[in-house]
Amino acid sequence: MKIISKIATASLGLVFMGSSSVFAQSLADAKKAIDAEQYQKAKSMLKNLTVTQGTKDENFFYLGWVYIKQDYADSAKTAFNKGIAVNPKSGLNYAGLGAVARLDKDKAGATTNFNQAIALAGKTAAPYTYVGKAYLLPTSTDGKISVDDASAAIAVLQKGKVVAPKDVELLITLGDAFASQIKSNEAYQAYSDASTIDPKNPAAKVATGVLWRYANNFEDSEKQFQDALAIDPNYGPAYREWAETDNRWATADPKAASAKIKQAVEEYKKYLSLTDLSPESQMRYADFLISAGQYQELQTVAADLAKTSNSNLRAYRYLAYAAYENKDYPAASTAMNTWMTKADPKRVLPRDYLYLGRIQMASGQDSVGINTLRKALSLDSTQTDVYGEIAKSLFRGKKYAQAGDAYKLVTQKGGRSVKLTDYFLEGISYYYGYDDKKPGTDSLLTKADSAFSYVIQKTPTAPYADAYLYRARVNDLKEKDRNNIVGYAKPFYEKYIELILAKGAPDDKGKKNLAESYVYLGNYYQFKEKDDAKATDSFTKARDNDPANKQVIAFFARKAGGAGKSK
């Protein structure tokens, strides 16, 4: 590939001796622009090269790859097919078609094209490299690379390494594949090998810096970006990754958060200044602003992008996200409807449905919003936080039994993000869903009791007092015969009283709950044990906490009446 580009440059130099403008149209320079993420510049060069050097299949491939990086898969496919028309044995363009098929979720098509690319690769590294890169293209909402995809990338790149052990781009891509699976030692070795072969390659330095970032070694990470910029002061990706590092640093060190976020934004602006300031590069800035949580800035950037005559529709996606986060729901709704109705359906992400559902619920359309969130989940089940959002909305709408089922899904599918409060809310939802006038709802009490029991089991050293309170309430409801009390709730009310009093003086809410607990015990002693002294003691404690409690007032009224009669 290097030989081809050198021959092309040399031949052009013979025809246009000393013409720097023609030299700037070489494939080598176009590839350098791609590496620097100057995609508009690279695209302009490559479009020209597909005309002036229309028999070279590489020109079409790299043009297609730029389209992939800019999220135009259909245009990429057209370019790759033209490359194959020019050279039916173009392994690179088959690698490109495989990448498009993979983005379109066409696994069989991707495998077929990747196999063809490798079969045609011969002794050249590029087809191996770009099949590897294709496997590393993110296809999920969270941008993570699956173990299977990373393994496939590593396998093909290691085959390529046998063919071309000193190809720097291949080694860096191999490092990226290892890094995606947090195989830091293997990734570091690949990047180190690339730097040894080409010490002046800024991409290897930047990749190493990213590796240090994920280890939260921010100082060494910065050093790598500085080394990359010492090699090439205009290497934009170094500033972009530096910005991402400062953003992560801000999360890890709250004391430095404000300064690091501001620094990150400035570094990203520097990155933009070193690209072509195209809508696509500003879209990448918008992606960064989302990850940095800078929604005010995002809304401004997205609004400006949406106003331009040649704006990418994707600007409306960002505008919707930002407006929602900034609680500007009418603007969010307008922008999201524009995006969802006008964008190619293949470009609509599960996260778009997630935000659409949130916007709908924030606009008072809870039922519609819940259905939209469920669609988002059907498209990407990894977004487990959505179960909680659905549950909260159902609870807010007083659809308690459904909310309990939704919280049950949170606890079952939330993984490491599940909290004890999710189990607690599951129990509360089922508790409020119970209605003794509706047959068949007894099962909800059993489900509620199970959820509260789980919370109690998981907090033996720091008991969750409210779990005892609600478990007491649930068990009290199980007392079907009020004239023959069993006392199911007694141990739980007693434990609640013990825990609350151990904390010191209760607040107003705690006093009401204590009164409720003492009232239950008073009734138990009065009607179950027939112990008037204990009953009176319990009702007295209830009165001390909540004199307005109706059962307390009734008890002492009866007692006063009984005393009057006895006289």
Taking the CB of residue 488, how many other CB atoms lie within 10 A of it?
16
How far apart are the C-alpha atoms of 484 and 24, rounded to whole Å?
A: 94
Residue type at 172 in one-letter notation = I
In the chain, the largest separation of any two C-alpha atoms, in whole Å, equals 127
Q: Which residues contact 304 (CB under 8 A, 6 or more apart)?
A: none
Q: Which run of H or of E encompasses 92?
A: helix 91-103
**pTM of the predicted protein model:** 0.61
Query: pLDDT 10s digit of each residue in the chain, 567 long?
Result: 332 233 233 333 333 333 333 334 799 999 999 999 999 899 999 999 999 999 999 999 999 999 999 889 999 999 999 999 999 999 999 999 999 999 999 999 999 999 999 999 999 999 999 999 999 998 876 678 999 999 999 999 999 999 999 999 999 999 999 999 999 999 999 999 999 999 999 999 999 999 999 999 999 999 999 999 999 999 999 999 999 999 899 888 888 888 888 888 889 889 989 987 777 678 878 888 887 788 998 999 899 888 875 667 889 999 999 999 999 999 999 999 999 999 988 889 899 999 999 999 999 999 999 999 999 989 888 788 888 899 999 998 899 999 999 999 999 988 777 899 999 999 999 999 999 888 888 999 999 999 999 999 999 777 889 999 999 999 999 987 867 889 999 999 999 999 999 999 999 999 999 999 999 999 999 999 999 999 999 999 999 999 999 999 999 999 888 655 544
Q: Do residues 452 and 474 make contact, with C-beta atoms less than 8 angstroms apart?
A: yes
pLDDT at residue 141 in the model: 64
Sequence spans of domains, the chain: 488-566
How far apart are the C-alpha atoms of 416 and 382, rounded to whole Å?
A: 12
How far apart are the C-alpha atoms of 169 and 175, rounded to whole Å?
A: 10
What string of DSSP letters covers 439-496? TT-HHHHHHHHHHHHHHHHT-SSS--HHHHHHHHHHHHHT---TTS---TTHHHHHHH
Q: Which run of H or of E encompasses 389?
A: helix 385-396
Q: HSE on the CB side for 175, CA within 13 Å?
A: 26
Q: Do residues 376 and 392 make contact, with C-beta atoms less than 8 angstroms apart?
A: no
pLDDT at residue 286 in the model: 86
> At which residue do the structure tokens 């007693």 appear?
494
